[in-house]
Structure 1
C-alpha cells in the first residue's frame, strides 16, 4: 500500500420506497467513497438522488453498485445469466447511476459489483470480464473496484482498467481470498474493535489475513463495510480511527492501473 494510505468505502443508497436500510447520513461523514445501489437489488431513483446529493455535499466519491435484478433477496441469490445479459445488466445500472449523479451535480467515478454477482465474478474471470467490459464501454475511464486477489482483479487488470483493490472490514476470508459464505459461522464481523484490529493488521502487512491465518499479499486501495449491518456506523468510526492512529492516511483512491 504505497504511501500508507487507504480509502474507506461503504455500500449505501439501499432504501426502497418507505423501507429504510442503513444510516447513510452518518456513514457519509466517515467514509471517503460510497457505492450506491442502482435500483435492481436495492434502492430507487429518489433514494439514489438523495444519497448522491449528500455524497456531493460531503465530498465523498460516488460509485455505481450494480447487482442482480433481485429485490426480494437483496441481490444475494446466485443467478446463471449469459454474458450478453450480464453486460446489459451492468450497463443499464451504470447508466442510471450516471444520470442521477449528474442530476445532483456529481459524477460516478467508480463501479463495484454487489452481492452474489460480485462473489460469482470473484470466482469466474470470464464472467467478471463481461461485466467490466460493459462498464468500460459506457465509461472508459471509470475505476473498477475489485475484490483483491480474486478473478475480479485479474479481469480488470487484463482489460487495462483503472482499478482499486478492496478488502472487507466486516467479512471473514477463505484461503483463496474469497469471502466466507454468509451462512457459515463467523462469516460476518459485528464487533467494531475486532474489525479495526484486522484492518490495521492487513493494511500494515499489505496482505489479506484469512480465517486460518494465511497471508495473501495484495495491493490494498480501499476497505469496505456493508452499510446495512447493525454496527456499520460503529465499525466505520472504529476502523477509520484505528487506521489514522496507526499513521495510515484515509482518503479517496486514485485508481491506478
Structure 2
C-alpha cells in the first residue's frame, strides 16, 4: 500500500504546488513509484510538469463526477517512476456541488478512487487547492498525512490554526488515521531576519513536526528562495530535471530523504 500525503495550506503563494511537484519528483528519482494527483482547479501542478491543459482529454474532474476511474486519466511524465493525475478548471464546479451535498460518500470520492491504484505506488502526493473547501476535505479524507508549507513571510503562521482545526475535524469524523507529517518552511532567505524569525517560531511551536535529514538532527530542512526553483515550472520541469544542483533541488531531495527515513 502506498502512503498518501496531501500538501495543504489555505493561503495561496506559500509553495504548496512547488512542494507537491518537487517532493514527488525527488521521491521518483529515489526509485519510488509516485503518483502526483492534482486536485487544484488552477492545475498548476499539471502545467508545472509540462502538460498543456489541451494535451489530455480526461482529468480528475471526470473522476469526481464518476465518469472515469483514476487509472484511466493517469499520464506518464519525463521521470519513469512519476505519474500524474491531471487537473482542469472544471473542478471549480465540483467544489460548489460538493459543498451543497451533505452525503458522506461524496466527501470520500477521492479516497474510493485512489483505493483502486494504491497498490501500484509507493507514494501518492496530492496537491490541494489554496482553500479549506470540499475538495481539500476530500483530499484529507483520502490521506494518511498532511504536509503544511509555511512561507517565511509576515503573517506566516496566520491561519495555521484553521488548517489544524480542519485536520482535527476530519480525523474525528471521517479519517481517524490522518496525521500531520510535518511543517515545511518555504521561500527562506538567509538575508532576511523575518525568515529566521518564522523558523524560530516554528521551532518553538512545532519542533517535533519539522523535517530533519537525520532523527534527532537540529538541522531543520527549509526550502530556500531560489531563482531556478521559481523558473522551472515555466519550462514544465521539476527542479531536479531543470537544475539538479541548485539549492532548491537539494532541499527537496533532502525532504524526500527525510520522508523515506
TM value normalised by structure 1: 0.42
TM value normalised by structure 2: 0.42
Structure showing greater Rg: 2
Pick the structure with more helix per residue: 2
Pick the structure with more strand per residue: 1
